[in-house]
Amino acid sequence: MAGLLSISEPHAGSPTDMNNQNDTNNDFLASLVSDATQAPKNVTEQYTREDIAQLFDLPLMDLLLRAQTIHRENFNPNEVQISTLLSIKTGNCPEDCGYCSQSGHHRDTTKLQAEKRLEIDKVIAAAKRAKATGSSRFCMGAAWKHPSAKDMPYVVELVKEVKALGLETCMTLGMLDTDQATQLADAGLDYYNHNLDTSRRYYEQVVSTRSYDERLDTLANVRNSGINVCSGNIVGMGESRDDRIDWVHELLKMPKAPESIPVNLLVPIAGTPIGDKVLAEGQLSVLEWIRTIAVARICCPTSYVRLSAGRESLSDSEQALAFMAGANSFFYGDKLLTTGNASQSGDDRLMRELGLTKQFAAPRAPKQVPVLDAMSGHQSRVVLAE
């Protein structure tokens, strides 16, 4: 990838040296913008692991410039997509994710109260509220290893009813086999979330009950079913920058980068193994999370990069930097699955101050069929009524 190796170290020197240095920096910045504007869309294979590492190493302002330039090439820079997340089955999850309050493995220390499946009418009522407040996508999460056979009619019904409200649908239900992914695709599910969380190397420090390859298998099943893929990470679990680089590289090794990439900042929860460790040893700098967002934006230029967990603890300025880095989606509402979120009124105020507007769900493409003209033999396409 051109341009990344030409960074000059800042140094003290004579005025002539300084002028030369400024010229060099200006040339470099111009090359960054030029590279960015000429970057082919939808092509991610051009970034090797070494390229990704060099992006992480860029001076922050150069990285932000490049990320923002690429962002502007692919999206309206002042528009954000807003999703609402609802837990439809909380707690007592059989998996042992070290950061999660919902894991049954940590329930003695987190004291999280498990709940049964939420009734369908309650989910629909929450979806209506989400739509009324400007969300374009409604995400439903269940603390399962995978949906059981008896859960499938329930989740299929939810997809159909939420879509009937005119909302995009997303689910995160654990692992999916091919048949389950097909059932959800047939119901019209728009997105399925399944995070890789971190690098393959660091993963064993995070989860032991589900393998990295099982995660990739689920993502492949989702991709093959035609559902859009949502897959992200959690920054600040004690992983190294190398792990963050490897996580981005994993996204690029997929046949197609996920359409949606949540970049979570760990919310350390007391009573979870990772939360307790981070609370004792200190949290990662927010700027490293912003770097991760910027690198994800550059490497996956047409994906939505989502601010997820961790936002409630951030200042307006830190969130503004995250949008500058190319984030263009966030969760709306006062609660994520079990952790707090930035308040909705606070989000509205921040969006006004930043001049951001809400992106509404893209209307479904009208169905078209090819029709041959009986006289001329020319083919044309006819739009069918819905």
| Residue 217, H or E segment | helix 212-225
CB of 102 vs ligand SF4, minimal distance in Å: 4
Nearer to ligand SF4, 102 or 169 (CB): 102
CB of 367 vs ligand SF4, minimal distance in Å: 36
CB of 276 vs ligand SF4, minimal distance in Å: 16
Nearer to ligand SF4, 64 or 337 (CB): 337
Alpha carbon separation from 140 to 124, 168, 191, 268, 353 (Å, rounded): 11, 11, 10, 22, 30
Nearer to ligand SF4, 174 or 236 (CB): 174
Tally the C-alpha atoms within 13 A of residue 364's C-alpha that lie toward its C-beta. Answer: 16
CB of 351 vs ligand SF4, minimal distance in Å: 29
Task: List Cβ neighbours of 27 (8 Å cut-off, separation of 6 or more).
Answer: none
**Phi and psi at residue 25, to the nearest 5°:** -65, -40
Q: In terms of Cα–Cα distance, which of 79, 122, 130, 29 is closest to 329?
A: 79
Q: Which residue type, as a one-letter code, is found at position 164?
A: A
Nearer to ligand SF4, 257 or 337 (CB): 337
Q: Which residue type, as a one-letter code, is found at position 103?
A: S
Helix (H, G, I), strand (E, B) or coil at 383: strand
Nearer to ligand SF4, 54 or 264 (CB): 264
Distance between CA atoms of 129 and 337, rounded to whole angstroms?
Answer: 17
Distance between CA atoms of 213 and 195, rounded to whole angstroms?
Answer: 12
Task: List Cβ neighbours of 183 (8 Å cut-off, separation of 6 or more).
Answer: 152, 156
Active-site residues, by number, are 93, 97, 100, 139, 170, 230, 306
Distance between CA atoms of 73 and 41, rounded to whole angstroms?
Answer: 9
Alpha carbon separation from 193 to 173, 190, 317, 342 (Å, rounded): 8, 10, 28, 21
CA 231 to chain centre: 6
| Residue 275, H or E segment | helix 273-281
Nearer to ligand SF4, 258 or 273 (CB): 273
CB of 111 vs ligand SF4, minimal distance in Å: 15
Q: Which residues bind ligand SF4 (CB under 6 A)?
A: 93, 95, 97, 100, 102-103, 143, 174
The DSSP symbol for 5 reads: G
CB of 85 vs ligand SF4, minimal distance in Å: 12
